[in-house]
Each structure stands twice: as C-alpha cells, then as structure tokens.
Structure 1
Amino acid sequence: KANFLQRSTMRIPYIIGIAGSVAVGKSTIARLISILLNKMLPDKRVELMTTDGFLYPNAELKGRGIMDRKGFPESYDMERLLQFLNDVKAGEPVVKAPTYSHQVYDVQLDKPLVIDRPDILIVEGINTLQLPSNQQLYVSDYFDWSLYVDADPDLIEHWYLQRFGMLLDTAFTDPSNYYYPYSKGDRQEAFKMAKDVWQRVDLPNLREFILPTKSRADVILHKTTGHVVDKLYLRRG
C-alpha cells in the first residue's frame, strides 16, 4: 500500500534496554548481544549506544552543585534522552546522541553518535529503567525488551576497583586523561580515593535508584565471581 501510494515505508526499530550498576559489565553484555544479533541477523542493522552521554556536562554539574551526585537521576538530562528515544522510535532518519568519554570523565558534545534508522538499537545505562522526575514516561516505555545485569554489591565494588586500576594503567602516558594525576601519584592513595567514591556515591546510587528498577526488566542476568553468569530470571506475563 505504501509503495502504491508512492510513500516511503517507515522503519520502526526494535529497542533493547540494558540496565544495572556501574562496573557490573553492562557494556560487555551489550556488545555481546550486538555481536550475536549481527551474526544471527546479518541483513539487519544493529546499533549500540550508552545513556552516559545524556549526563549533564561536568561544568553544568558543578554549577548546579551536584558534581558529587554524578550518576544520580538528577545528573541526567532525562528530557533530552526521552526526546532522543522518541525520535528514534518515530523512525526519524538521523538522530544524534551525545557521547561520553571515561578518559576525560565528561560528555563530548562535539563528538555525537549518529543513529540512522537501525533495525535494532541497544541502549545501555544505569538509568534505563528509571522513572524521570516530573515525567509521565519511563525510558523503558520505548523498549521492546529489557535486561538487568545483577551481582552482589561487594563483588561489583571489586570490579569497580579493578576497572579503576586498568584506567590508571592506561592513563600514565596521557596528560589530558582525567586519571593521569592519579596514575602519577601514590597508587594506594588513588585506590583509597576510588573506594571512597564507591562507598559515598556509587553504592548509595545503586541501592536507592538502580536496584529498585530490577523488577521492571524482562530478564535479570545474575553474575558471580569472574563475571560468570550463574542465574537467569524471566519476568512472567
């Protein structure tokens, strides 16, 4: 019918949401799903993105006095994220998402990710199942399927510190890297600082705002030591 009327058919993407704590391995799971989908569906375009780019830039977080709340719900431009997902779901031909660099520890507004009518879009982030304040929509309202990556908080803290160590190991040759000063200083003090950030920021965020969203996922993937998946839970209905 669309061809008869000489109208272009609109591509409505299938959107997969992946949620979970900082350092729990969301990005790795998202990449694995992307690889599997590309192999299983070679004729479909699969794209992958993270919601980290929708954090407010550090300058704005500092201006609002919430730099220590980075990662908490109020540190994200949720209205912009919802508009982005709405445009993607509506089949807009080119939709741009801001990106985030862990190396500079900030949003990169000058390096947007261009999403161009994918068949499948994978969206991963700590806030993908949260209800934004003063909004009637969940981010997950745009998802066709969602997954929560779960693990014991003590184990996540271990992975968090492991990742911090790897960031230090790659930062010492790059003065522009956010972690460069820590890589050049006392390593024990650097890890003490990282542990403090986990206990003061990331763990409370997990307990108060991330973990309570677990029940909204279609699938809960539970991990144990060594990032081994030991349990899968499926939501009924």
Structure 2
Amino acid sequence: MTGFTELLADARELSTAGRRRILGITGPPGAGKSTLAQRLVSELGPELAVLVGMDGFHISDAELRRTGLRDRKGAPDTFDRAGYAALLHRLRREAGTVYAPAFDRALEDSIAAAVAVPAAVPLVVTEGNYLLLWPELRPLLDEVWYLDPPPAARLDALIARHVAFGKTPADAESWALTADERNAEVIAVGRHRADRVLGWTAD
C-alpha cells in the first residue's frame, strides 16, 4: 500500500515541473479524497499548492428542490459540470488570480469565490467524484489518482461523516447504502482511466 510520505513526494515533484500542474484525486464517496487532498496541500504549503474541490459545484439545495433532485444530491446531474470544466480551463490558461467556489458541509451549500488561486502557485489539487466519468475533464488534469480503500472501511467512514454533519445514524446508513452506493458504482466505471489506483485510507 502506498503511504502518505510517498504520495507527498510525488505531489511535490509535480509542483516543481516548471508550469502549473493540476492533480486530480477521485474515488467513491467516503474513500478519503478530501482528507488526502487537504493533507497534501497543508504539507506543501500555500506557496506550492491550493485545493479546489469539485464539491464547490454542487447545484444549490434550493435549485435541487425546485427540480426534484434533492434526494439524489451527489449524483452526476446534481453538479454544475460545465462550470467545473470552465474553472479547470481557467486554472490552466489565465495569468492572474482565479477564484473558485467552496462547499460548506455545515450549510450543505457552496460559497462563491471562496478560494483564491494566485498565478504563482504551481500545483492545484482538485478532488471530486466524477473526474474520470466526464471525458472533457481528463485532458485538463495532469494526473488522476483513484482512491479505492476496503469497502467496509469506506462505508464506516461515510456513515460517520453523515452523522457528524447532522443525519441520524439510521438516515446516515440508509443514505450511504442507497444514494452513495449508486454513485460509487458510476464512479467505478472510470477506475481504469486513473494514472494510479491507491488502496489508501485516511488512517
């Protein structure tokens, strides 16, 4: 199993490649994408890396309710797919600071322009479910790592996260085993397109 020290060294090498690189981290819900991405960026420091999450492109709860999609939140069609792709294009091409949205789990909604990506930062780490599902994204990512921890550990972590953000244990387990697992099956279709598949967990 690849350890964090090795992954950090590989991310650091990307950050010294001579031009801005974008590292994608993907995998099913509860795989540890956010945890790994945040640890990498924290260790590298703000001069080398910035984290931009795909979750910032969740369609708002109000709009999901209007369109009848709120009970499918997290499915591919509940994201602003085109908006996320446009941001990746900007991060590759624009000379100035680019601002990205961030997802606030406490609010269950996104906050616009919450993340600044200065032009001098050489590495953007982006994490999200569908980096390998939407074909227009792959050419915009220099590397994609797919996290594939043991299913039981992943589900336990996922249920614990839902409980931490307000669901009852019963509702958390139900959501994890239905909506999240449906999404996990969709995400797994792109597993073979990853540059690396990691049996990595936050522990």
| Preserved contact between residue 12 and residue 90 of structure 1 (Cα < 8 Å) | no
- Indicate which of 114, 117, 135 corresponds to 2:116: 114
The answer to whether the Cα contact below 8 Å between 2:163 and 2:172 also exists between their aligned partners in 1 is no
Match of 2:173 among 191, 195, 210: 195
Instruction: Give the whole-Å Cα distance in 2 for the aligned partners of 1:76 and 1:29.
Output: 22
Tell me, in whole angstroms, the C-alpha distance in 2 between the residues paired with 1:96 and 1:12. 19
**Which residue number in structure 1 is paired with residue 198 of structure 2?**
221
Instruction: Tell me which of 55, 59, 70 is aligned to 1:56.
Output: 59
- The separation in 1 between residues aligned to 2:139 and 2:106, in whole angstroms, is 31
Alignment of 1:139-178 (within 5 A): 139-167=137-165
Is the 2:20–2:123 Cα contact (8 Å) retained in structure 1? yes
Q: Distance in 1 between matches of 2:65 and 2:164?
A: 27
Say whether the 8 Å CA contact 1:51–1:124 is kept in structure 2: yes
Whether the 8 Å contact between 1:26 and 1:124 is mirrored in structure 2 is yes
Residue 140 of structure 1: CA displacement?
Answer: 2.1
1:122 partner amino acid: V
Q: How much does 1:12 deviate?
A: 4.2
CA distance in structure 1 between the partners assigned to 2:81 and 2:156 by the alignment: 29
Alignment partners' CA distance in 2, 1:82 and 1:12: 19
Task: Decide whether the 8 Å contact of 1:58 with 1:107 is kept in 2.
Answer: no
Is contact 1:153–1:203 with CA below 8 Å preserved after alignment? no
Q: 2:152 corresponds to which letter in structure 1?
A: D
Amino acid at match of 1:70: K
CA RMSD of aligned residues (A): 2.0
1:1-16 map, 5 Å: 12-16=19-23
Per-residue deviation, 1:112:
2.3
Q: Which runs of 5+ in 2 are unaligned?
A: 1-17
**1:59, CA displacement in angstroms?**
0.8
Between the aligned partners of 1:61 and 1:94, the Cα distance in structure 2 is 30
Q: Is the contact made by 1:15 and 1:121 (CA closer than 8 Å) also made in structure 2?
A: yes
Greater Cα radius of gyration, structure 1 or 2:
1
Normalised by the length of structure 1, the TM-score is 0.71
Deviation at 1:223, TM superposition (A): 3.5
Corresponding position of 1:231: none
Residue of structure 2 aligned with 1:211, choices 185, 188, 198 = 188
- Does the residue aligned with 2:198 lie in a helix, a strand or coil? strand
Which consecutive residues of structure 1, in runs of 5 or more, have no partner in the other structure? 1-10, 132-136, 168-178, 183-189, 229-237
1:34 to 32, 41, 51: 41
Give the TM-score of the pair, scaled to structure 2: 0.83
Distance, in Å, in 1 between the alignment partners of 2:49 and 2:19 is 13
- What is the total number of aligned residue pairs between the two structures? 185
Residue 78 of structure 2 is aligned to residue 75 of structure 1: yes
Contact kept in structure 1, 2:74 and 2:183, CA below 8 Å: yes
CA–CA distance in structure 2, aligned partners of residues 78 and 126 of structure 1: 12
Q: Separation in 2 of the partners of 1:35 and 1:96?
A: 19
Q: How far is 1:32 from its partner?
A: 2.7
Percentage identity across paired residues of the two chains: 25
